[in-house]
Structure 1
Amino acid sequence: MRGRVLVIAGSDSGGGAGIQADTKAITALGAFAATAISALTAQNTVGVHGVLPVPPDFLRLQIECVLDDLGADAVKTGMLDRPEIIEVVASCLAARDPLPLVLDPVMIAKNGAVLLAESALDTLKRALLPLASLVTPNLPEAEILAARPIETVDDMRRAADTLLRFGVPAVLMKGGHLRGDELVDLLVTRDAEHRFASRRQPTRHTHGTGCTLASAIAAGLSQNMALPDAVRRARDYVQAAIAAAPGFGRGAGPLDHSVPDPEPGAR
């Protein structure tokens, strides 16, 4: 085991997304996962049925307890649903030596449930995006952050450029919501662009793919992988986990997070 990742995100009682998916992915890729839970959700493959907020002071205590003792080599954030929660995360991270931060801007669940209060969007842009090493929006999230429609790969590039202006050095634009048999993701930095493409898998069992991908990237960064290499390994891992999905549930089912690390030598 090499690399420590602190995940700050919501809990998914169904086990397919959120903290549960994060922990499984990080462990599968040979790193150690610690957690700070921002909210509890009652959900399954059909939908989100309830959200119980965690008090901001208790989230702060979780973060500080982990960092003061176990430490971290990278941080991944997921569901941060309220302005005060985002402020706590930003203040905790800004007060310490910089760590690679993978920010997954969780806003909408797979079934359409809203997971980010409208009042929190400005706080996310102002307080947390400038601290991130990488932000990983899907296209609906990128449209909200960049305030522009995205219908093509060129639109993805333009939206990524907009997000770079918020101060984040790298954006992974996930193209899963575009039509077509090819799934294209773009890793855009201030100096370069990396294009990743794979065959779209015809399945409904994709719950937690965003959480899983971001955590897999964070695991790679905690293991001192270069960002493009961490993204490529994470994509390969997610594709394998989708292909091996167990078929549980009546809706968008979970992945098989126990699939082998595609590059065990990278640990």
Structure 2
Amino acid sequence: MAASRCIPNTLTIAGSDPSGGAGIQADLKTLSALGTYATSVITALTAQNTRGVSGVHPVPVEFIAAQLETLLADVDIDAVKIGMVASREVADVIREALTLRRPGWIVLDPVMVAKSGDILVDDAGIAAVRERLVPLADLITPNLPEAAVLLGCPVPEDRAGMEALVPALRDLGAGATLLKGGHLEGGECPDLLITAQAANWIEGHRIDTTNLHGTGCTLSSAICARLAHGDALPDAVATAKTWLSRALEESHRLDVGQGRGPVHHFHGRR
């Protein structure tokens, strides 16, 4: 972050969720709640609510490129979060733009699997993320099904299974990986932070709530915000995870939709 600025600038590159719980909207809320100036580049419009997605309208690749070029030519970005990328063309545009004007941190949330278990991107999209964006990222944040898709392996079912993926995840080429353990059974939600030097567990308790819409988007954006503020990576991850737990605990204060509700991004304000 430039010494002359008190508030860091962040960028989210993702799709729009009109219900406000996930995607660009969740990212902007999170980045703002955690004290950064949030900018955005929209890659797709969706028709969705708390009960599901009924339609997706991709933004033309040329216009994604125009958004990135115009923004990055004017605003110095301290950290960027990348959400779902469904095609090699979009991945290439993002890679080119962020290579030309690289921010201090790049966090990639490889959104590939819906909570229903459905695969959201085709094989070409998966390959594009793995080959074009993962090596560009300082941190990737897959959950267990997403890690299995990236690696072409079964979904881990316990901590030992998560630890067994460490060498393969390192080989993907990202600076670090946060392998999220929320899909494990039981009352704990352990995540595994994998760097080139070590693999360390970050513990967490499962919050008893059905308001889980956009939790992955929110966590990756929270990490992005803390990195923009200058936190070391392990501290950024731990602080973001604690903040998300509080957002889940406070989600009962919201009454949004009839399906999986959102977390309370502004729980710090009464």
3-state SS of 2:107 partner:
strand
Contact between 2:14 and 2:82, CA under 8 Å: does it hold in 1?
yes
Cross-structure match for 1:33: 38
* 1:2 and 2:7 correspond: yes
TM-score (norm 1): 0.94
Give the residue type in structure 2 aligned to 1:254.
P
* 1:236 and 2:221 correspond: no
Of all paired residues, the percent bearing the same amino acid is: 46
Q: Following the alignment from structure 1 to structure 2, what is the Cα–Cα distance between the partners of residues 235 and 208?
A: 14
* Counterparts of residues 206-217 of structure 1 (less than 5 Å): 206-217=212-223
* 1:70 and 2:64 correspond: no
Residue among 122, 125, 134 paired with 1:129: 134
Instruction: Give 1:192 shift.
Output: 1.6
Contact between 2:80 and 2:103, CA under 8 Å: does it hold in 1?
no
* 1:12 and 2:17 correspond: yes
Q: Where does the alignment leave 5 or more consecutive residues of structure 2 unmatched?
A: 1-5
Give RMSD over aligned pairs: 1.4
Contact between 1:47 and 1:111, CA under 8 Å: does it hold in 2?
no
Deviates more, 1:87-96 or 1:232-241: 87-96
Instruction: Give 1:134 shift.
Output: 0.3
3-state SS of 2:73 partner:
helix
Q: Where does the alignment leave 5 or more consecutive residues of structure 1 unmatched?
A: 262-267
Contact between 1:7 and 1:76, CA under 8 Å: does it hold in 2?
yes
Q: Following the alignment from structure 2 to structure 1, what is the Cα–Cα distance between the partners of residues 123 and 49?
A: 24
Q: Deviations over 1:113-153 (max 9, x none)?
A: 54323211111111111110000001110111122221111
* 1:259 and 2:264 correspond: no
TM-score (norm 2): 0.93
3-state SS of 2:224 partner:
helix
* 1:165 and 2:171 correspond: yes
Instruction: Give 1:257 shift.
Output: 0.4
Q: Following the alignment from structure 1 to structure 2, what is the Cα–Cα distance between the partners of residues 172 and 238?
A: 15
Instruction: Report the CA distance shift for 1:98/1:201 in structure 2 as closer, same or farther (over 3 A).
Output: closer
